[in-house]
Structure 1
Amino acid sequence: MADGCLGPAACKVLQFSLPLRFNPTAASAAAAIAIASSSSTCSRSISMTSPRSTALHASVNPSQPSLLVFSGGTAFNGVVEDLKKLTTRVAHVLPVSDDGGSTAEIVRVLGGPAVGDIRSRCLRLSDESTSEALAVRTLLGHRLPLDALLAKSEWYRIVEGEHPLWKGVSRPYRETIRAFLAYFQNQILRRSSESFCFSNGSIGNFFFAGARIFFQSLDAAIFLFSRVSGIPTESLVLPVISTNDRLTLGCELWDGTIIRGQNEISHPTKGSMEPINKECSSVQALPSRIKRVFYMSSEGKNLLHEVFPTANPTVLEQLSEVDCIVYAMGSLFTSICPSLVLLGIGEIISSRSCLKVLLLNGSHDRETSGFSASCFVTAITDALNRTYGDSNNCLNNLPSDYINALLVPRDGQIPVDVQNLAAQGIFHVITVDSIYDPKVGPTFDSKSLIKALTDLIGEYMSML
């Protein structure tokens, strides 16, 4: 990208200093100029073409298989790099209900959907082929200190453009990124009644939030982030629900207990801003197993304040077209199931004759204590059938309509009850080499996992 591509006007409006000389009007103008002034002469210019249009008409290699992956923002991240060697035609579907850590602070003060999982996946997919790409990735992946005062001080140095993290980022990219960071800061200052805590804050989350509020569109914010971070156009990062509203995940336990909030279900932190500890032994066990997850608001349609958001149309469109559907490893009820309980998801998956594979976790967590492999299958089937939700929206499909292959990490802690799986109609169970992570236990060896997926996809596609 040629220096000065955005023109002198963008440089002028960005000449401000925080916090005393912050100019919100300038920040808004800078954001608009940064987008509107992109040029075809820029090697990585930002185009405001419709994200959906771009997704559907991107130039792709038809020899690569197309995948749709349901996952959260952590467990599957370790596979993303090796997955690129199989295909870049991947639609990553992620929930927008995460309410832990610094994401919770953004949602508390500014509202809107949680973007932490989406930001995390975007960073894993981002370009790192040049020194500038690496510099942008490092900047957007940076977290502020846990100490609130140190975090606020470092944040001002970053948004003012004085932090060493800007080294290696050319002026056009610096202006574009700073414009949205400044817009995010402006939104915080406008809510003077709420004191924002920058502790452990993610710069990528702040950029994302600024873009979403500026465009009033989560899709547009993802599109901008994807272009800034150099994600291949055929690799899609899709929120399962396309919304500007705050979404709260709830769960009902088998003993009737209702828990409100994704973090309270999976990794309760009692309001701490520290990084979430996902070791099974670090949190208290649930009093009863989880029966179902659902979405809640303060003005729901029943006593549980349950609401029924609409699935992202692009997710439904991709589900109808891909060669393989993957339920990734991760938090079963708070990362995977929130994407499965929406209207239309179960209908489309059950109608497809493609490969549908579950990647089994290597260890138990708070949500799945005592589960066997068939319990995972049952939970996914119940979520897609919406078995325990509104009786008018329930399906009655078989487990084999949703899952036809199971990949299991070698030496994993989840019992693989082959007879129960066979009773569910699942006979294709493949053991994959694993590695031992001292924090979470056995996990898939990513290269072995991708090879197993490659072989499975090839086998199923050869049968068509």
Structure 2
Amino acid sequence: MKNIVVIGGGTGLSSMMMGMKKIKNVNLTAIVTVADDGGSTGRIRDVYHVPAMGDIRHVLCAMSLEENETLFTELMNYRFEGDEDIGGHSLGNLIFLALMDTTGSFMGAIQSISRILNVKGKILPSTLDVVTLYALMQDGTLVRGEKNIPTVSNHIDKVFYQQHITPYPQAIEAIENADLIIYGIGSLYTSVIPNLIIEEISQAIYENPCPKVYFCNAMTQPGETDGYTLQDHVRALEKHSFKNPVDVAVFNESVIPDFVRENYEAEGSYPVKLEKETENYTVIRRNLIYLDEKGRIRHNPDAVQKAVEEILEKI
């Protein structure tokens, strides 16, 4: 029984876990950022001074084994209309907040929802601290708050927390016991790296000799990774963690239709490219994406599952 730890946040991590929960004979653990400070999650965080639960909610739904998973997911992700009182809030966030009150803790809420949804594996926050993410831009501009970072038309030099963050002990334990560690899929600077800049988490990853795999995003993200190649993504991981943090990088080679590419280019987003230089990690090319009903690029959970299974066979 192999122990797999996946580190990230956002919808990309949810897509990965939807596929990976189908892998047999593995123990899955998702370590999720709590740096989100936008939308419903941000409002609840500010009023009740609790860690962000939005990304964790998405991952809980993604890892559900219930046959009527879609119904639960729709309920958990239902958003009330308007912008006053409960307007704009996600029902799942309100349920999460209620369970925090009835169980007495953030982890109690996660465990309760895990039982209700029959979740495969564990979902752990990287920290239980209420954190604020900062970004220092290359021109010296300082941006406060995860939601604001992608809105600044600039290039990110580094992201950081202003205070020492206490890691969640079970997250460290899961990393120490991992047979495979995976970063991504997700926003590089606002989903993946917010976990790695917690010093003890990067240290635990560094000290574990198991293979480390990075699933790179298919498209660049405006305000975060403009013009980035796969190698640029890995360099950013290294800058925020330790030398040579990646053994295998999984790169999307799916052909993107011209009309889709043009729609993304209009938003300042382009396919991530490969540099020609040889790196000190293996690059695996796979078809990882599909188009949803609106023509938006989404990562294919089944393709992720297959890629991870191939990697597992070699360790």
Question: Is TM more than 0.5 here?
Answer: yes
* CA distance in structure 2 between the partners assigned to 1:318 and 1:147 by the alignment: 40
Structure richer in strand, relative to its length: 2
SS of structure 2 residue aligned to 1:248: coil
The residue aligned with 2:285 is 431
SS of structure 1 residue aligned to 2:193: helix
- Structure 1 residues 402-441: aligned runs within 5 Å: 402-411=245-254, 413-419=271-277, 421-422=278-279, 425-426=280-281, 428-437=282-291
The residue aligned with 1:117 is 55
SS of structure 1 residue aligned to 2:136: strand
The residue aligned with 2:261 is none
What code does the residue aligned with 1:457 have? L
The residue aligned with 1:395 is none
- Structure 1 residues 185-196: aligned runs within 5 Å: none
Which of 2, 16, 20 is residue 79 of structure 1 equivalent to? 16
Which of 140, 153, 163 is residue 286 of structure 1 equivalent to? 153
SS of structure 1 residue aligned to 2:199: coil
- Structure 1 residues 58-69: aligned runs within 5 Å: 62=1, 65-69=2-6
How has the CA–CA distance of structure 1 residues 200 and 216 changed in structure 2, closer, same or farther, with 3 Å as cutoff?
Answer: same
SS of structure 1 residue aligned to 2:273: coil
Deviation at residue 321 of structure 1 after TM alignment: 0.8
CA contact (8 A) 1:251 1:292 kept: yes
How has the CA–CA distance of structure 1 residues 139 and 254 changed in structure 2, closer, same or farther, with 3 Å as cutoff?
Answer: same
Q: Deviations over 1:308-355 (max 9, x none)?
A: 111111111111111110011211000000000112222222222212
Superposition RMSD on alpha carbons, in Å? Answer: 2.2
The residue aligned with 1:256 is 140
Deviation at residue 435 of structure 1 after TM alignment: 3.1
The residue aligned with 1:349 is 205
CA contact (8 A) 1:127 1:134 kept: no
Give the TM-score taking structure 2 as reference length: 0.87
* CA distance in structure 1 between the partners assigned to 2:295 and 2:180 by the alignment: 27
How has the CA–CA distance of structure 1 residues 434 and 123 changed in structure 2, closer, same or farther, with 3 Å as cutoff?
Answer: closer
How has the CA–CA distance of structure 1 residues 359 and 237 changed in structure 2, closer, same or farther, with 3 Å as cutoff?
Answer: same
The residue aligned with 1:383 is 240
Identity rate, percent: 27
The residue aligned with 2:82 is 147
Which of 220, 229, 242 is residue 117 of structure 2 equivalent to? 229
Larger Rg: 1
Give the TM-score taking structure 1 as reference length: 0.60
SS of structure 2 residue aligned to 1:74: helix
SS of structure 1 residue aligned to 2:45: helix
How has the CA–CA distance of structure 1 residues 197 and 363 changed in structure 2, closer, same or farther, with 3 Å as cutoff?
Answer: same
Deviation at residue 141 of structure 1 after TM alignment: 3.2
Deviation at residue 452 of structure 1 after TM alignment: 2.0
The residue aligned with 1:324 is 180
* CA distance in structure 1 between the partners assigned to 2:295 and 2:12 by the alignment: 10
Deviation at residue 434 of structure 1 after TM alignment: 3.4
CA contact (8 A) 2:61 2:72 kept: no
* CA distance in structure 2 between the partners assigned to 1:379 and 1:257 by the alignment: 18
Residue correspondences, number: 297
* CA distance in structure 2 between the partners assigned to 1:418 and 1:443 by the alignment: 26
Deviation at residue 140 of structure 1 after TM alignment: 2.8
* CA distance in structure 2 between the partners assigned to 1:100 and 1:430 by the alignment: 34
* CA distance in structure 2 between the partners assigned to 1:139 and 1:372 by the alignment: 38
SS of structure 2 residue aligned to 1:292: strand
CA contact (8 A) 1:409 1:444 kept: no
* CA distance in structure 1 between the partners assigned to 2:212 and 2:206 by the alignment: 10
* CA distance in structure 2 between the partners assigned to 1:453 and 1:74 by the alignment: 18
Q: Deviations over 1:57-115 (max 9, x none)?
A: xxxxx2xx321111212113223232122145211111111111111221232221111
Larger CA deviation: 359-368 vs 347-356? 347-356
Q: Deviations over 1:146-185 (max 9, x none)?
A: 235xxxxxxxxxxxxxxxxxxxxxxxxxxxxxxxxxxxxx
What code does the residue aligned with 2:8 have? S
The residue aligned with 2:216 is 360
How has the CA–CA distance of structure 1 residues 314 and 357 changed in structure 2, closer, same or farther, with 3 Å as cutoff?
Answer: same
How has the CA–CA distance of structure 1 residues 226 and 446 changed in structure 2, closer, same or farther, with 3 Å as cutoff?
Answer: closer
How has the CA–CA distance of structure 1 residues 443 and 136 changed in structure 2, closer, same or farther, with 3 Å as cutoff?
Answer: closer
